[in-house]
Amino acid sequence: MNETYHTWRLTFSVLATVGLYSVLYRENKFYRFFEHLFLGLASGYTMVALWTETLYSQWWTPMVGSHLDPVTHKGADANGYWAYMALLPLGLMAYLVYSKRHNWISRIPIGIILGFWSGQQVQVWWNRYGPQISDSMKPVVPNAFHYVDAQGATQFSLLSPPATAVAQPGAIFGTTALSNLVFVLTFICALSYFLFSFDVKNKLLNGMTTSGRWLLMVGFGAIFGSTVMMRFTLLIDRMYFIWIEWLQDRILPLFLHR
């Protein structure tokens, strides 16, 4: 029973995938059916996960506590904290949004959630940006010009040594210092592009902000390339699912054996 069930399930999935892809040709009833089925299943599952994954373990259990099951000796004797019930009315206030006179009250739960979000922006700012500031302070003056090459002879070089050479730890060679300079200049130009409170008259500062916009494009180009890789990989995975996992492994064997 298991194998035939699995084949039926895969067939249903392929049908749904082809149904959704049919919008590429043009919007049609077959597509609209699967789109609404998709939205229905998604909202249905959200209602399940709402209780099973969130409210049950994060609100109901701490509120009512739990007791040790005498038969299986499982679970634990935990007290229930009745004050949790006060959260329910706070949540229900949101449903007043539909009343004409009292819909301002619905802004309280949303205000509390926005308050939690905005308080955290202050809390987490440094965790995210502190290490990046510290990492952006790169030395732009080299402090080492010699390295010991594979044959043991010390070489003078402005360029950073080849992989096989040995240099003392923390050595900054000419090319590394130059790259660090490009790094810091890019960072400062990119950040100064977002300065709005003073008019940039002199040539140098103006040059910095316009080159800032071009340097931002390098960052966006990398995001573009990486996103393209991901989207195509997801499509290849869908094709693999249809042609190999379904057609080749499931459907063809049925016909070939007969």
Among positions 65-104, residues that touch another protein (CB under 8 A) are 65-67, 69, 72, 74-95, 97, 102, 104
Q: Applying CB under 8 A, which of residues 54, 158, 205, 252 lies at the interface with another protein?
A: 54
Smallest separation (angstroms) from another protein to the CB of 251: 15
The C-alpha angle 194, 127, 223, rounded to 5 degrees, equals 50
Q: Applying CB under 8 A, which of residues 30, 40, 158, 252 lies at the interface with another protein?
A: 40
Check residue 183 for interaction with another protein (CB under 8 A). yes
CA atoms within 13 A of residue 178's CA, in its CB half-sphere: 6
Check residue 113 for interaction with another protein (CB under 8 A). yes
- How many chain residues interact with another protein (CB under 8 A)? 175
Check residue 109 for interaction with another protein (CB under 8 A). yes
Q: Applying CB under 8 A, which of residues 145, 174, 179, 251 lies at the interface with another protein?
A: 179
Q: What is the DSSP letter of 150?
A: T
Q: Which is nearer to another protein, 226 or 258 (CB)?
A: 226
Smallest separation (angstroms) from another protein to the CB of 258: 23
Pairing of strands 154-156, 146-148: antiparallel
71-77 contacts, C-beta under 8 A, 24 or more apart: none
Q: Which is nearer to another protein, 98 or 255 (CB)?
A: 98
DSSP 200-217: --SHHHHHHHHHHHHHHH
Q: What is the DSSP letter of 242?
A: I
Check residue 136 for interaction with another protein (CB under 8 A). yes
Q: Are 159 and 142 in contact (CB under 8 A)?
A: no
Check residue 53 for interaction with another protein (CB under 8 A). yes
Structure tokens at 201: 């008259």
Which residue is listed with tokens 């077959």?
Answer: 30
Cα distance between residue 258 and residue 253, in whole Å: 9
Q: Which is nearer to another protein, 153 or 258 (CB)?
A: 153
Check residue 157 for interaction with another protein (CB under 8 A). no
Cα distance between residue 95 and residue 92, in whole Å: 6
Q: Applying CB under 8 A, which of residues 70, 141, 255, 257 lies at the interface with another protein?
A: 141
Smallest separation (angstroms) from another protein to the CB of 250: 13
Check residue 190 for interaction with another protein (CB under 8 A). yes
Check residue 122 for interaction with another protein (CB under 8 A). yes
> Cβ neighbours of residue 28 under 8 Å, at least 6 residues apart?
22
Smallest separation (angstroms) from another protein to the CB of 204: 14
Neighbours of 230 (CB within 10 A): 9
